[in-house]
Chains A and B, each alone.
Chain A
Amino acid sequence: MSQLLDSSLLFVTGKGGVGKTTVATGLAWLAAEQGKKVLICEVEPKDDLSASFECGPTPFSGTEVNDNLTAMSMNTEASLREYLKLQLRVPVIGRIGPVAKAFEFVATAAPGVREILTVGKLCWEVKEKHYDIVIVDASPTGHIVGQLAAPQAIRDLVKVGPVRSQTGWMLDILSDKEKTGVVIVSTPEEMPVNETLELTKRIANETTVNLQAVVVNQVLPELFSHTDEEIFESLKSSESIDILTQETKGDSQPVLDAARLAVTLRRSRLGHIERLRSEVAGSIPLIYLPYRFNRLDGIRAVRATADALGEEI
């Protein structure tokens, strides 16, 4: 974990609904608390960062959401403008309207253009050392490989020209294990674990980027030790329920149901955690985050996640 935050560029991905944004924002918060200068970027502008930090919009130009912590949303057109200005010194200010529209079409048709403008901007921030660490609330498992592999794909397609030469330094940053890594977030459930395992293979086979860690989110606490569980099992007999009802002066069934649910869930989830551990390479750490019964949202969720991640170091 401490190594994790020593990276310069971290892509946080995962299946939809597993808490990808929560983990990305938690990591960013933690890094900023440790005194690092942090940029967090959401690749798919869905206002997730603005909801997480409970702040206003997070524009492409970035906005400071806390000390040392800047948040931005990706915008490929803005990225293109910046790129043209900085890299090619193309004067586009007056004519950007139709150019942007044309770009929209080319980007739709030509593979990797949108992706490379996304990855390119992130790599650029790393290259220019504007921040100590850039944390990316990246695309979900289905799309992340396309993004990470974009520089290579462009390199294969575009044989000459400045774009090709641009891919060189991006590939250098992306394939540097010390600098760049992917973090996959999963929950201990069947589908997220399947997607995680599939993604670990695809990252290894189709990209040059290093998998740094797998975060297992929503891990349920163990309710009972083995002997205590036997006691709990005995409580479900009708005589026992009669006594409980008598003593607590109410229906104890829902209360026992809740504990039953906790035990069942914990058990089925444990199986998925074991599957993850046995199929993900031993060198990749699994980082566990607890299930939150208070279902925090917004900035409190960010802080709680940062704290939990901090303890896992």
Chain B
Amino acid sequence: MATSGTKSTRSKRTDSPVTSHLDDLVATKEVLIACGPGGVGKTTTAAATGLIAALRYPKNVLVLTIDPAKRLANALGLEGIGNDEREIPAEAFNELGLTPKGQLSVAMLDTKQSWDALIRRHAPDVATANAILVNPLYHNITSRFVQSHEYIAMERLYDLHSSGKYDLIVVDTPPTRNALDFLDAPERMADFFASRLLRWLITPYRSRIVNIATKPFYQIADRILGSQFLQDIAEFFVAFQSMYDGFVKRAQGVDLLLSDDRTGFMVVSTLEPVPAREAKFFVDELNRRKLNLEVMALNKVLPSSFRSKDAATVAERMREDSDKIADKLAGKIFGGDVDLNSVSRVLKEVGTSFQNFQNVALQEASLEKTFAKTTGYVASVPFYDTEISDLASLADLGSRLWM
């Protein structure tokens, strides 16, 4: 349920509103990446945007989601679909009285499955692939390490994009330790494979000769980790290195896609102080890297009517004249059958509550203004106290965001 009597707001654009911002986005972008601080509705916003695009435009849209909440997964029919894409059938829309102009598919990222597929693709032969897949270190790398998660997410995106099946892919990014790690992941992956260090690490176990350069490292590593463990690592990397060429080429491709003009970024945030601070970092960083920051999506923004000065005056009078107003109300509304003090107390409380919210709303207004300066387009969704439980509520959210 949305707050009664309020409408979503949208920052005014300076050019004429012949085409909406979404028109432009859908016309020019093939990939839209949602990023931003944790807990601000990134996944939901990405899904709602993809859904709206499929409803309004004759496009084949894919929503690639990393870690959806259970209810959102339900809403999108994602449960139990593993790593495959699934098209949402027309009947699902028709039941809700919706007739999409395009098609909507959804996919979820299964890190393990995606890594396995990648290894099979790049390994020179089945034996090498299997040797890697059963290595205990492999499991650890692919399941526990956040950066591998980030890399595989971008890799999968690249794969889906180059398949050419979709006109627009909307993807949310995994919660990262460092805000924009996912942008560096492809490069780091390529660096890793190209590095002399990797060769250093492997050499002694091939030639059994420890050269002068690697000696200090092995001395320390042996003392810390024990040589058996080190050998496990080396064996793993020997197998892994056979995939060098394929991996590096691939990582470079992923890197190029991120900075391509067909790729746009959407920073999602709320206007609470901490997420807003983090979002500002995202905006600055995307701009610094000259990536295409297309839109700032702000969730849970208080309705603009809460910013009204007139309403503040009303709230003030309601508190000050609560006895008098209670008296008037008592006769006409409650037919005299009410405790005047209670009515007065309720009026005071209502007035105070507004003043509390206005305090927050004004802080939000100021933050929103700051963001509008650094981001071309700001879309905001008013405080929305409902959980997304089906396509209808998701479409509702989407249409509030993209008016």
Binding site for B on A (CB under 8 A): 15-19, 21-22, 44, 46, 51, 84, 88, 90, 92, 95, 98-99, 101-102, 105-106, 108-112, 139-140, 142-143, 146, 157-164, 190-192, 194, 223-224, 227-228, 231-232, 234-235, 237, 239-240, 243-244, 247-262, 264-265, 268, 293-297, 301
Residue of A nearest to B356 (CB): A293
Residue of A nearest to B321 (CB): A247
Assess whether A194 is in contact with B69, with CB atoms less than 8 Å apart.
yes
A146–B311 Cα gap in the complex (Å)? Answer: 51
Within 8 A of A (CB), among B306-351: 306, 308, 310-311, 313-315, 317-318, 321, 324-325, 328-329, 332-334, 338, 342-343, 345-346, 349-351
Shortest beta-carbon distance, A297 to chain B, in Å?
Answer: 4
Assess whether A17 is in contact with B275, with CB atoms less than 8 Å apart.
yes
Most buried by B among A146, A294, A295: A295
Given A17-B38, A295-B272; A105-B144 close (CB under 8 Å): no
For the complex of A and B, list the 10 residue pairs with the smallest distance between their C-beta atoms, beginning with the closest. A16-B38, A17-B39, A161-B226, A111-B140, A254-B305, A293-B356, A250-B314, A254-B311, A297-B273, A258-B354
Assess whether B226 is in contact with A257, with CB atoms less than 8 Å apart.
no
Assess whether A258 is in contact with B363, with CB atoms less than 8 Å apart.
no
Assess whether A253 is in contact with B5, with CB atoms less than 8 Å apart.
yes
Contact-residue bracket for chain B = 35 or more
Assess whether A257 is in contact with B233, with CB atoms less than 8 Å apart.
no
User: CB of B237 within 8 A of chain A?
Assistant: yes
Assess whether A98 is in contact with B198, with CB atoms less than 8 Å apart.
no
Excluding A109-B236, A140-B175, A235-B329, 19 further A-B contacts by CB distance (< 8 Å) are A17-B40, A17-B272, A84-B220, A84-B224, A102-B217, A106-B233, A110-B140, A142-B175, A146-B144, A158-B225, A160-B226, A234-B334, A240-B333, A248-B317, A248-B318, A249-B314, A254-B303, A264-B385, A293-B356
Chain B residues, Cβ within 8 Å of A15: 38-39
**Which residue in A16, A160, A235, A297 is a CB contact (below 8 Å) of B350?**
A235
Assess whether A88 is in contact with B224, with CB atoms less than 8 Å apart.
yes
A-B contact pairs, 6 of them (CB 8 A): A90-B220, A102-B200, A228-B349, A243-B325, A244-B325, A250-B313
Shortest beta-carbon distance, A226 to chain B, in Å?
Answer: 11
Chain A residues, Cβ within 8 Å of B343: 231
Chain A residues, Cβ within 8 Å of B277: 51, 297
Chain A residues, Cβ within 8 Å of B317: 247-250
A194–B39 Cα gap in the complex (Å)? Answer: 12
User: CB of B221 within 8 A of chain A?
Assistant: yes
Assess whether A255 is in contact with B345, with CB atoms less than 8 Å apart.
no
Assess whether A102 is in contact with B223, with CB atoms less than 8 Å apart.
no
Assess whether B274 is in contact with A105, with CB atoms less than 8 Å apart.
no
Shortest beta-carbon distance, A142 to chain B, in Å?
Answer: 6
**Which residue in B146, B201, B221, B349 is a CB contact (below 8 Å) of A223?**
B349
A111–B71 Cα gap in the complex (Å)? Answer: 32
Assess whether A261 is in contact with B3, with CB atoms less than 8 Å apart.
yes
User: CB of B16 within 8 A of chain A?
Assistant: no
Shortest beta-carbon distance, B132 to chain A, in Å?
Answer: 12
Given A98-B217, A102-B201, A110-B137; A254-B71 close (CB under 8 Å): no
Assess whether B346 is in contact with A228, with CB atoms less than 8 Å apart.
yes
Within 8 A of A (CB), among B22-53: 37-40
Assess whether B5 is in contact with A257, with CB atoms less than 8 Å apart.
yes
Shortest beta-carbon distance, A183 to chain B, in Å?
Answer: 17
Assess whether B346 is in contact with A231, with CB atoms less than 8 Å apart.
yes
Residue of B nearest to A240 (CB): B333
Residue of B nearest to A83 (CB): B224
Residue of B nearest to A107 (CB): B145
Chain B residues, Cβ within 8 Å of A95: 216
Most buried by B among A157, A192, A248, A253: A248
